[in-house]
Amino acid sequence: MPRITLPDNSVREFDKPVTAAEVAADIGAGLAKAVIGAKIDGELCDSATLITNDVEIELITAIDRKAGESTEDALFLLRHSCAHVMAEAICKIIPGVELVYGPPLETGFYYDIAVPEGRPLSTDDFEAIEAEMAKIIKEDRPFKRYELAVEEGMNKLKSEGSKYKIDNAERAIEAGSDELSWYATGEPGEAWEDLCKGPHVPSTGRIGAFKIMSLASSYWHGDADSDRLTRVYGIAFADKKQLAKHLNHLEEAKKRDHRVLGKKLQLFHIDEAVGQGLVLWTPNGAVIRNELQNFIGAELRKQGYHDVYCPHIGKLELYKTSGHFPYYSESQFVPIMDRDFLKKAADDGCSCSELANLMASGDIEGYLLKPMNCPHHIKIYSSQPRSYRDLPVRLSEFGTVYRWEKSGELSGMIRVRSFTVDDAHLFCREDQIAEELNGCLSLVKMVFQTLGLNDFRVRVGLRDPDSSKYVGKSEDWDKAEKACREAAKSLGTHVTEEPGEAAFYGPKIDFIVRDVIGREWQLGTVQVDYNLPKRFELSYTGSDNQQHRPVMIHRAPFGSMERFVGVLIEHFAGAFPTWLAPEQVRVLPISEKSADYGNSVLKALRDKDIRATIDHSNERIQAKIKVASEMKVPYLLVVGPSDQQDQVVSIRARGLRQNLGTLPVNTFVEGVCSEISSRGKQTIISEHFQAVEA
RNA sequence: GCCGCCGUAGCUCAGUGGUAGAGCACACCCUUGGUAAGGGUGAGGUCAUGGGUUCAAGUCCCAUCGGCGGCUCCA
**CATH number assigned to the domain comprising residue A188:** 3.30.980.10
The answer to whether residue A165 is domain-embedded is: yes
Rounded CA–C1' distance between A236 and B8, in angstroms = 36
Residue range A443-474, pLDDT digits in tens:
998 999 999 888 888 999 998 877 777 777 88
User: DSSP states of A419-461 as a string?
Assistant: EEEEEEEEEE-GGGHHHHHHHHHHHHHHHHHHHT---EEEEEE
Which residues 9 to 68 of A reach strand B, CB within 7 A? none
Please tell me the pTM assigned to this model. 0.92
> Are residues A21 and A84 part of one domain?
no
- Report CA(A204)–C1'(B13) in Å, whole number: 39
Shared domain check, A146 and A9: no
Task: Please report, rounded to whole angstroms, the spatial distance between the CA atom of protein residue A601 and the C1' atom of nucleotide B22.
Answer: 40
* pLDDT the model gives residue A124: 78
Nucleotides of B under 7 A from a protein CB: 1-5, 11-12, 25-26, 29-38, 65-75
- Does the structure show a pLDDT above 60 at A680? yes
Which nucleotide across the nucleic acid strands is nearest to A271, CA versus C1'? B66
| Nearest alpha-carbon partner for A56 in A17, A16, A20, A15 | A20
Q: Are both A562 and A608 inside the same structural domain?
A: no
Assess whether pLDDT exceeds 80 at residue A185: yes
Lowest mean pLDDT among A346-350, A425-429, A543-547, A621-625: A346-350
pLDDT band, residue A694 (cuts 50/70/90):
low
DSSP A322: H
CA distance A46 to A215: 29
A201 assigned to some structural domain: yes
Rg (CA), chain A: 31
Do A10 and A95 belong together in one domain? Answer: no
| A353 belongs to a structural domain | no
Q: pLDDT, tens digit, for every residue of A201-255? A: 999 999 999 999 888 888 888 888 888 888 999 999 999 999 988 888 888 888 8
Can you give the distance from the CA of residue A119 to the C1' of nucleotide B63 in angstroms?
A: 22
User: Measured between alpha carbons, how far is A316 from A325 in angstroms, rounded to an integer?
Assistant: 8
Q: Domain boundary at A513, A541, A571, which? A: A571
For residues A52 and A86, state if they share a domain: no
Q: Is the CB of A328 under 7 A from strand B?
A: yes
Same domain, A567 and A590: no
A99 within a domain of the structure (yes/no): yes
Q: Are residues A532 and A438 in the same domain?
A: yes
CATH code, A560: 3.30.930.10
Is the CB of A387 within 7 Å of strand B? no
Asked whether residue A428 falls in the same domain as residue A554, the answer is yes
Give strand letter and number of the nucleotide nearest A521 (CA to C1'): B74
SS3 content of chain A, % helix, strand, coil (to 5): 40, 25, 35
Q: A411: Cβ under 7 Å from strand B?
A: yes
What is chain A's mean pLDDT, rounded? Answer: 91
At A106, is the pLDDT very low, low, confident or very high (cuts 50, 70, 90)?
A: confident
Residue type, A520: E
A210 within 8 A of A133, measured Cβ to Cβ: yes
Give the nucleotide at minimum CA-to-C1' distance from A406: B1
Question: Is A397 part of any domain?
Answer: yes
The CATH number linked to A52 is 3.10.20.30
Last residue of a domain, one of A571, A601, A620: A571
Residue nearest to nucleotide B37 (CA to C1'): A623
Phi, psi of A9 (to 5 degrees): 75, 5
Q: Among A248, A268, A297, which residue terminates a domain?
A: A248
Number of domain units in chain A: 4
Residue A43 lies in a domain: yes
Do A566 and A595 belong together in one domain? no
Separation of CA A291 and C1' B61 in angstroms?
52
**A301 beta carbon to strand B: under 7 Å:** no
Task: Print the domain residue range for A218.
Answer: 73-248
Top-confidence range, A69-73, A273-277, A293-297, A688-692 = A293-297
* CATH number, domain containing residue A639: 3.40.50.800
Stated in angstroms, how far is A551 CA from B26 C1'?
59
Rounded Cα–Cα distance for residues A536 and A38 (Å) = 60
pLDDT for A693 equals 61
Q: Which of residues 105-164 of A touch strand B (CB under 7 A)?
A: 120-124
A204 burial via Cβ count (<10 Å: 0-12, 13-18, 19+)? buried
- In terms of domains, do A509 and A635 share one? no
Residue A187 has pLDDT above 60, yes or no: yes
Predicted confidence at residue A107, as pLDDT, reads 84
Residues A410 and A553 placed together within one structural domain of the fold: yes
C-beta within 7 A of nucleic chain B, residues 506-565 of A: 517, 519, 522, 525, 527
Instruction: State whether A638 and A548 are in the same domain.
Output: no
* Domain contains A578: no
Is residue A330 situated within a structural domain?
Answer: no
| pLDDT of A361 | 85
